[in-house]
Chain A
Amino acid sequence: MAQTAKELSSAPKAGNGNRNTNEVVIDCNISELYYGKFKAVRDTRIPIERNKITAFIGPSGCGKSTVLRCLNRMNDLVRGFRFEGHVHFQGKDIYHHSVDPVAVRRYIGMVFQQPNPFAMTIYRNVAFGLKLNGYEGNREERVEQALRDAALWDEVKDKLHTSALSLSGGQQQRLCIARAIATRPEVLLMDEPCSALDPIATRRIEELMLELKDSYTIAIVTHNLQQAQRAADKTGFLYVDTTQGGRTGYLVEYGVTKQVFEDPKEKHTQDYIHGRFS
């Protein structure tokens, strides 16, 4: 596993903060994706670019989350999952048989739909990733930095050693973001991070994403079109194809957010964005 970890991290790295180059961090090309016999996604190619926010939008059941979970091999936990195509992370195929999914998930962090802090203290939640990676340096400093980056520090600095479950939903979600960024992963995947939150907490997370994109590459799945419009640089629209019997998701359109929303090329995208949907 150490070997693969080295390979993953030693891939060419462009300087962070160089935001003009459209360097692709994750090149995701799914030709076919199955859960057992069920074909969930087909023909989806989305490049995730460095220091940008890429949003996946589309109706329910179109496979947005499935695609996102492909990017750090969370789907490997689903029984019967089968994947054809490739996902290149910094030039390396993460589905190659020599790559350990555990290593992939250490470089590509994830924030989930439901806030899911562990039943331990706030401090230990954030330090969990540090511990997994065997970080020997100053853990307190790292935890504080992660909590500051997640805009949570001021609210929790006096109660770091109380249970994380005592926080509100929005705070819990920011704690989960802090936990995910404590180890400085290259990419942050967010699977509908605001769907369980109220509008104020949602706004807070959005602001946070815009701050984080200077140092991280973010891919987000969202049901909220305004959110994609406000936050995302690039947007991919997925739609469900029911013509072949099943419900298979596929990528309809991908481009700069402004273009996708204001001048969509495909009819399906136009219909969805203007709410003309059955």
Chain B
Amino acid sequence: MSANIPDQTGGPRESISRQPTFIEKHSNTVFGWATYLFAWLTVLLVLYIVCVIGIQAAPAIRDYGWGFITGTTWDVNAHQYGVLPEIWGTMYSSLLALVIGALFGVAVAIFLSEHFLSSFVFSVGKLFGVQFHPLWAKLPDNFERILKNLIELLAAIPSVVYGLWGIFFVIPLIRPVCDWLNSNLGWIPIFNTTLSGPGMLPASIVLAIMILPTVSAISLNALLAVPPKLREASYGLGATQWETILAILVPTASKGIFGAIILAFGRALGETMALAMLVGNANVISWSLFSPANTLAALLANNFPEAGPKEVGVLMFAALILLGITLFVNMVGAFILQKASEPQEGVR
């Protein structure tokens, strides 16, 4: 206290500055500690979850070990458990969904960041010499904003609704195409079974729609963060809009877009309900897009209700594997995003 700056009241400027009071000082400290505590509580929560699952899975880990990961049969009566088909199905459906979802998501992000809609409306208007009233001129912008919100709303649709939609809309929709592909291009491994209803392709299509908002929202932010002066430079050199997008904007935003894709992958891996309804729940390892399959999350959802005490441990082991995969993917994604949002050296 004694080292504080002396009060200057009575000086020529009649300063009203004063020392911070006891309460001001200490509430600051308390507030700091409180946020610190809550932040660490969430970390502890994650660790606690991992611990509980790990402890419950411990007997199964002891009994089955690596054989659990490499095994391909799931027979409750014979006490034979293996999750290789589920790991395969999880990775296959997620990657497939990622390819579809990333393509559409990045396309949506480019469409929204470039204001294609309004520039189209304006160029048509200019062609006919139309002067827009400012209110009307804002309409395409507003429409784009609505579009952006609608895409983000896709994330708000419950998983089970997606599942129902997949069963009653997507499967009937793609069935003729799948049948044609199977009968005409059946020699290609990815088309070599018939679509009997639920299967890998409908599951992946629905999954792709579910991860699309994640990809498009984060990619859009990355694209909007590209300094406008780079866009100007590219146009100034005589690049077309597409050349600018492909050669400058997307590469400059690539780290952010890549991070978005990794995070979406993390979401796809853990998605449960829609997949449990659509993937077919068959322990099959197949390249075919039309073959039924299974995923770790769907396995857990389907088997927990009737699980005996022994099986619960086994399912906990499967949950631990799923948790490990998703945690790993999410951490990598977060790391890349953090790298991407760091200010680039030299950009002023």
Known contacts A116-B229, A120-B251, A179 near B237 by CB under 8 Å: yes
Contact residues in B for A180 (Cβ distance below 8 Å): 236-237
Stretch at the interface among A9-17, A127-135, A148-156, A233-241: A127-135
0/1 interface trace, chain B 232-256, chain A, CB 8 Å (1 if under): 1111111110010001100110000
Give bound CA distance, A113 to B122, whole Å.
28
Contact residues in A for B345 (Cβ distance below 8 Å): 163, 165-166
Stretch at the interface among A55-63, A98-106, A217-225, A249-257: A98-106
Contact residues in A for B252 (Cβ distance below 8 Å): 118-119
Whether B227 is near chain A, meaning CB under 8 Å from some CB there, is yes
Quick one: which of A82, A109, A166 contacts B236, CB cutoff 8 A? A109
Whether B348 is near chain A, meaning CB under 8 Å from some CB there, is yes
Known contacts A79-B122, A132-B238, A133-B238, A112 near B346 by CB under 8 Å: no
Whether B344 is near chain A, meaning CB under 8 Å from some CB there, is yes
Give bound CA distance, A176 to B230, whole Å.
11
Known contacts A116-B227, A163-B345, A172-B346, A132 near B233 by CB under 8 Å: no
Contact residues in A for B240 (Cβ distance below 8 Å): 102
Q: Is the CB of A163 within 8 A of B346?
A: yes
Whether B10 is near chain A, meaning CB under 8 Å from some CB there, is no
Q: Is the CB of A129 within 8 A of B237?
A: yes
Give bound CA distance, A169 to B344, whole Å.
14
Give bound CA distance, A111 to B119, whole Å.
25
Q: Is the CB of A116 within 8 A of B237?
A: no
Give bound CA distance, A129 to B236, whole Å.
10
Whether A74 is near chain B, meaning CB under 8 Å from some CB there, is yes
Q: Is the CB of A79 within 8 A of B346?
A: no
The distance from the CB of A45 to the nearest CB of chain B, in whole angstroms, is 24
Give bound CA distance, A72 to B235, whole Å.
10
Whether A110 is near chain B, meaning CB under 8 Å from some CB there, is yes
Whether A167 is near chain B, meaning CB under 8 Å from some CB there, is yes
Quick one: which of B119, B126, B233, B348 contacts A112, CB cutoff 8 A? B233
Contact residues in A for B118 (Cβ distance below 8 Å): 79
Query: Across the two chains, which residue of chain B brings its CB closest to A124?
Result: B247
The distance from the CB of A268 to the nearest CB of chain B, in whole angstroms, is 31
The distance from the CB of A140 to the nearest CB of chain B, in whole angstroms, is 19
Q: Is the CB of B238 within 8 A of A106?
A: yes
Contact residues in A for B155 (Cβ distance below 8 Å): none
Whether A77 is near chain B, meaning CB under 8 Å from some CB there, is yes
Contact residues in A for B236 (Cβ distance below 8 Å): 72, 74, 105, 109-110, 112, 180
Quick one: which of B134, B233, B346 contacts A176, CB cutoff 8 A? B233
- How many residue pairs, one in A and one in B, have C-beta atoms under 8 Å apart? 85
Give bound CA distance, A16 to B294, whole Å.
73
0/1 interface trace, chain B 120-151, chain A, CB 8 Å (1 if under): 00100010000000100100000000000000
Whether A202 is near chain B, meaning CB under 8 Å from some CB there, is no
Give bound CA distance, A183 to B236, whole Å.
12
Whether A199 is near chain B, meaning CB under 8 Å from some CB there, is no
Known contacts A112-B232, A120-B251, A132 near B237 by CB under 8 Å: yes
0/1 interface trace, chain A 50-88, chain B, CB 8 Å (1 if under): 000000000000000000000010100101101000000
Contact residues in A for B126 (Cβ distance below 8 Å): 82
Give bound CA distance, A106 to B239, whole Å.
8
CB interface residues, A 161-194, toward B, < 8 Å: 163-167, 169, 172, 176, 179-180, 183
Q: Which one of B119, B134, B137, B348 has the greatest number of beta carbons of chain A within 10 Å?
A: B348
Give bound CA distance, A102 to B244, whole Å.
11
Give bound CA distance, A112 to B243, whole Å.
20
Give bound CA distance, A169 to B348, whole Å.
9
Whether B347 is near chain A, meaning CB under 8 Å from some CB there, is yes
CB interface residues, B 102-128, toward A, < 8 Å: 118-119, 122, 126
Whether A114 is near chain B, meaning CB under 8 Å from some CB there, is yes
Whether A36 is near chain B, meaning CB under 8 Å from some CB there, is yes
The distance from the CB of A171 to the nearest CB of chain B, in whole angstroms, is 10
Known contacts A118-B252, A163-B346, A102 near B230 by CB under 8 Å: no
Q: Is the CB of B238 within 8 A of A74?
A: no
Query: Across the two chains, which residue of chain B brings its CB closest to A166?
Result: B346
Give bound CA distance, A72 to B239, whole Å.
13
Q: Is the CB of A105 within 8 A of B232?
A: no
Contact residues in B for A117 (Cβ distance below 8 Å): 233
Contact residues in B for A167 (Cβ distance below 8 Å): 346
CB interface residues, B 187-242, toward A, < 8 Å: 227, 229-230, 232-240
Contact residues in B for A166 (Cβ distance below 8 Å): 345-346
22 contacts between A and B (CB under 8 A): A37-B134, A77-B235, A79-B118, A79-B119, A102-B238, A105-B238, A110-B237, A112-B233, A114-B229, A116-B233, A118-B233, A118-B252, A119-B344, A119-B347, A129-B237, A133-B238, A164-B346, A165-B346, A167-B346, A172-B346, A176-B233, A180-B236
A residues with a Cβ closer than 8 A to B are 36-37, 72, 74, 77, 79-80, 82, 102-107, 109-110, 112, 114, 116-120, 128-129, 132-133, 163-167, 169, 172, 176, 179-180, 183, 196
